Structure 1
Amino acid sequence: MKPRHSESKGSRREPRASSEDTTPGDPKAASERGQSDLQPDRILESAPGCGTSRGFVWFVGAGPGDPGLITLRGAQLLRTADVVLHDALIHSAILDEVTGRRIDVGKRCGHHSMRQEKISALLADLAGQDQRIVRLKGGDSGVLGRVAEEALLLTERGIPFEIVPGVSSATAAPSAAGIPLTHRGLADSFVVATAHRRADRRDAGRDFSIPTYSACTTVVLLMASASVGDWSEQLLQSGYPANLPVALISAGCTELERVVETRVARVEDDLRRAGLQTPMLAVVGWVVTLRGQLAGGLARFSPDQNEGRDGVRGAPDRVPAKLEKSRRGGACFRSAS
């Protein structure tokens, strides 16, 4: 007969956790149950429309370039999809996770492997064949990724879908390069706009969505290489100072990343001289000055990466006098609290 164990007065034995006591999706709790709510089969079971005979589409953001920056959910969906339709600039290590059929529908610099209308139609047709599809897009599909154009056709055909967010290059590439888009006393807002022009230049006379100059607003221009002459001229015409710092980031968050620091007045010349390759974005604003100050501690920074010209390399240590004056006037001042 086994001895009976008694509890001392005032002590309590913790009850065993049941599945009802845990929060769905909690990795620690799932591990204690011997399974993970993030396993591919459980993802599919929980998705709307799964468990039926109909197809399903996931729009997945692949992140800014580094294969480690795709979300866990996105990576697991790649391993379970029947078909993956992917953009051109997806890292090969991410595509290696695909176990099903791969279809390259990417577009680069006016060269389209498939027109947008055909991509949308193919996506809907495959889902209509009871296929489970991942539409893999660079960055975050909701930031200049045309996700709504493709999703609208699915909606018209009654095909269920889910949008899985990704890490946008608009914020990730500058941050990884040592340029936070906001900083107390320098910038309290940022604007993301496309600098893309149509290949046939039918939109050549149209202004980009660049706001009127504010010292406390950072402007990020995506796809900024080919139209640099247009947008730099528009900046000057919109009141942006000629000496306002600009960072040009090519292939951000990848092993091929290059960063050139320059100024609005000479950005076109410096870009052509540097020969930066696409994809490339531009960061316009005083936060670019932080890169030089953070260089000493930024692990991925090396002096060879900073290709700014004389007077720009290392960036100014001080905020320009006019901006300092506006800060004292409360334009973008933040208290120490």
Structure 2
Amino acid sequence: MRPFKYSNASGPAAAIKAVTANPTARYLGGGTNLVDLMKEDVMRPSELIEVTRLKFSAIEKKANGLSIGGTATNAVTANHGLVRENYPLLSMAILAGASAQIRNMATNAGNLNQRTRCTYFYDVNMPCNKREPGTGCGALHGINKNHAILGWSEKCVATYPSDMAVALAALNAVVHVEGANGAKRSIPFAEFHRLPGNHPEIDNNLKHGEFITSIELPPNHLADKSYYLKIRERSSYAFALVSVAAALEINGNKIKDVRIALGGVAHKPWRATIAEQLLMGKEATEANFKAAALAELKNAKPLGQNKYKVGLAAKAIVRALEGAMQGGTYGAMEAGSTTTNQN
């Protein structure tokens, strides 16, 4: 690990000012991703500003829904009564991720800012446009069985690893940030993360120095029929091959509202808008779920080793919607018991 300057922020304005003034400075929350990247020499910040003591950890009701603090830990968020009662999909997704020890350390803001777990990104001896623009994408024609099938470009085929973010995408969350000189703005979650395009080194649309103060969850009527399905290679501490956040609102026997987001398939949480549009107003049947899933995956572009993900994602959408219809609860959360055939 390279030498760096470390300091505790005296307040939000001081932290933002310090990071904004130094292009290689970074905020330090739980450090569960950043410190690993520093150890591997992938990221080389010259300065770390500790922010966990800043007062952005509240989880509270607001007129426009629920506000979740950026410095609140994943564990506190997942187990908070307001989250469990009103947004169980988020709680299920967080609890499906990482390990209890990491959830106790990781902050919500840090979770959104985590970077890909692509092995080519982590290996500084391999080409990676995300780590070093212009060097190429080693995974494009290399070992890519865990990589993207949607939205990738010739520059990058990596996937975004967060479970929490998949649920936030389905819940139409809004990310509130503060920048230099007190400037504040709100970013709809669909616009927060980026597809790789020609600049895979840019993970999201935060400006350097902007600090995530809170995440807003708008009100909805999806709590009774929510489900998070995560399919992975082992049952503990593994990233998703495919994950699905699904939630439904039923009026009579028709779908009044439906939310579907996928993880493990793209450079950002993938909102399944095609499937959602096809299901609106339809009956919540297995046949309709299957048709919607196949329509969503019609434009998938598998790589050399991950064609299995196309069928897996389609089946996972159906299974997650069925789980939501059954009123998926914490005990029924799918968290690794599913095995997959990758041939």
TM range (shorter): under 0.3
TM-score by length of 1: 0.27
Of structures 1 and 2, the one with the larger relative CO (CA 8 A, separation 6+) is: 2
TM-score between the two structures when normalised by the length of structure 2: 0.26
